[in-house]
Structure 1
Amino acid sequence: MKLIFLGTGAGRPTLRRNVTSIALLLPQAGGRFWLFDAGEGTQHQLQRAKLKLSRLDRIFITHLHGDHLYGLPGLISSRTFHEGSGKLRLYGPPGLRGFVECALTQSELHLDYELEIHEIEPGPIALDDERFAVEAGELQHRVRVFGYRVTEAPRPGSLNSAWLAENGVEPGPLYGKLKRGEDVELPDGRKVLASEAVGPGAEGRIVTILGDTRPCEEAVRLAKNADLLVHEATFGAGMEEKAASYGHSTVLQAAETASRARARRLAVTHFSARYDDEAIDRLAADGRAIFPDILAAADFLELEIPPRPGGEGRRKAPKS
């Protein structure tokens, strides 16, 4: 699982930072990925990151401000020219359908693929994907805004194949049953318990991506125990009053949210154009006093989210 930042600036694109968009590359999916927000120019950033529009199958919009949305019509349009593009599913606040349908109608665009638009409310989102669950939570901004918590399904434990071979369990259908958690009986009558032959599973990874927001309890809840929290940090320390008036956060407030949520890692993004790269690095350094594992995102930064550790199979003899 990998996150690629396609835009890390706030409000308007600059030569250094495009406006908000983040790609989540899914594990073992043949290059399939999801997109979170689609600010102006996102399809150009996707090309630079060598991500194929035909492999994009879900887009999650946090809110309907232009720096998170204006790249969506062009992206949808371009995707129809990519061979192999299947169904595309869009999720976002009420009003998303009207925005997209107006753009398609007025430009007389005809898509060669199926487009599903889901206007959501807080709570779990139906995905038809057993490997992931996504929950939306409502944050605090000047318009309705959502944060998304992506949870990977638990990973099954590993078969202790060496131990199984030593005890006369040959590779084949019995391995599959044990892997699925089923106990098996050998031809000689011995029983092998799945709990003995398969190590404990591992919890799935959690990635939380928040839209623009003031500090709020819902942000903490969505980020609880996340492997990676992506939080806006439009302003630096000392600008809390200005941040609150615009519905944004400072880097120190983002660090406080990560600390309270006991997240493992924090990436801050959505920086005001007033800050150059050196200033942004200093902002992140300030945040380490509150949350040590913080980094400032930059366009095309790639972050791997490693699997959570699991265990090995136990070494007990099969029961006779």
Structure 2
Amino acid sequence: LLRIFGPEGMKTYINAIYDTMNFELTFPVEIIEVNSGTILDERDFYVKCVPAEHKIDTIAYGFFEKGRPGKFNAEKAEKLGIPKYLWKKLQAREDVIANNKIVKPEDVLGPERPGRKIVYAVDTRPCENVLNLSKNVDLLIHDGMFANVLQEKAIEGGHSTALEAAELAKKAGVKQLILTHISSRYPNTDELLEEAINIYPNVKIARDLLTIDLPLIKDS
């Protein structure tokens, strides 16, 4: 099953492609039109979306890992007389019974370790929806189509300048910014990068096969 999430009208658009191309897929497809809120909630992560600000309906997406269990205190577990075969259950945040007493995960686990957070906002002007979605995320991937000298052109097209994206990243308190959806008028992106770095230093320009390392938050 392939699930495709997109703004209102996505289903009509994709069905029109099916009809025009006159082909059938060998696997089921579910098209889900969304606007805002949590659109997917799995065991280890969830996905949220908000309306972006563009000339047509566009959605920004947030991919959020759920918090991970805190560090397991083996010494404390031994003092409580918890058999080792029950430790995994506690690490999975399940209650166990040891010595005829209920032991809760928080009795032997440290503070929850926060998950990683990514926001993807392309085809958008800087806007409150994206700003709020991006608060304190580990990585923001944002529209940075033009240098700021072409701000009016960015406004007309519903896009952002590199400087504007950097200002939003700084205001949102993100840890890292990637500029993408760059205009083809910039074979050399140094101008865009320089504008952004002057506002927000931890920024890169997206390129094909770029790999970004987002390490898990370690125990203190």
TM-score normalised by L of structure 1: 0.63
The alignment partner of 2:3 has SS state of: strand
Asked if 1:105 corresponds to 2:11, the answer is no
In 2: Cα distance, 1:146 partner to 1:154 partner: 25
Aligned-residue offset at 1:92: 0.5
1:298 to 178, 182, 207: 207
Asked if 1:206 corresponds to 2:107, the answer is no
Residue of structure 2 equivalent to 1:250: 161
2:146 to 210, 235, 251: 235
* Structure 2 gap ranges (5+): none
In 1: Cα distance, 2:91 partner to 2:142 partner: 41
Measured at CA, do residues 102 and 175 of structure 1 come closer, stay the same or move farther in structure 2, by a change above 3 Å? closer
Q: Deviations over 1:20-61 (max 9, x none)?
A: xxxxxxxxxxxxxxxxxxxxxxxxxxxxxxxxxxxxxxxxxx
State the AA in 2 paired with 1:284.
Answer: L
Confirm or deny: 8 A CA contact 2:125 2:158 kept in the other structure.
yes
In 1: Cα distance, 2:212 partner to 2:85 partner: 37
In 1: Cα distance, 2:169 partner to 2:90 partner: 41
In 2: Cα distance, 1:236 partner to 1:173 partner: 58
Runs of 4+ in 1 over 6 A off after TM superposition: none
Aligned-residue offset at 1:171: 1.5
Residue of structure 2 equivalent to 1:119: 33
In 1: Cα distance, 2:91 partner to 2:55 partner: 53
Aligned-residue offset at 1:131: 2.0
**Equivalences, count:** 220
Asked if 1:265 corresponds to 2:179, the answer is no
Measured at CA, do residues 121 and 167 of structure 1 come closer, stay the same or move farther in structure 2, by a change above 3 Å? closer
Aligned-residue offset at 1:195: 2.6
Q: Flag the structure with more relative contact order, 1 or 2, with Cα contacts below 8 A and sequence separation at least 6.
A: 1
Asked if 1:173 corresponds to 2:82, the answer is no
Residue of structure 2 equivalent to 1:88: 2
State the AA in 1 paired with 2:199.
Answer: I
Aligned-residue offset at 1:191: 7.5
Q: Deviations over 1:150-178 (max 9, x none)?
A: 11111112323355357754320354146
Confirm or deny: 8 A CA contact 1:213 1:247 kept in the other structure.
yes
Identity %: 32
In 2: Cα distance, 1:137 partner to 1:181 partner: 34
Measured at CA, do residues 92 and 178 of structure 1 come closer, stay the same or move farther in structure 2, by a change above 3 Å? closer
Q: Deviations over 1:186-225 (max 9, x none)?
A: 3xx6875533421221112110000211121112111111
Confirm or deny: 8 A CA contact 1:200 1:310 kept in the other structure.
no
* Structure 1 gap ranges (5+): 1-86, 312-320
Measured at CA, do residues 178 and 101 of structure 1 come closer, stay the same or move farther in structure 2, by a change above 3 Å? closer
Residue of structure 2 equivalent to 1:159: 72
1:132 to 24, 45, 59: 45
CA RMSD, Structure 1 to Structure 2 (Å): 2.2
State the AA in 1 paired with 2:165.
Answer: A
The alignment partner of 1:259 has SS state of: helix
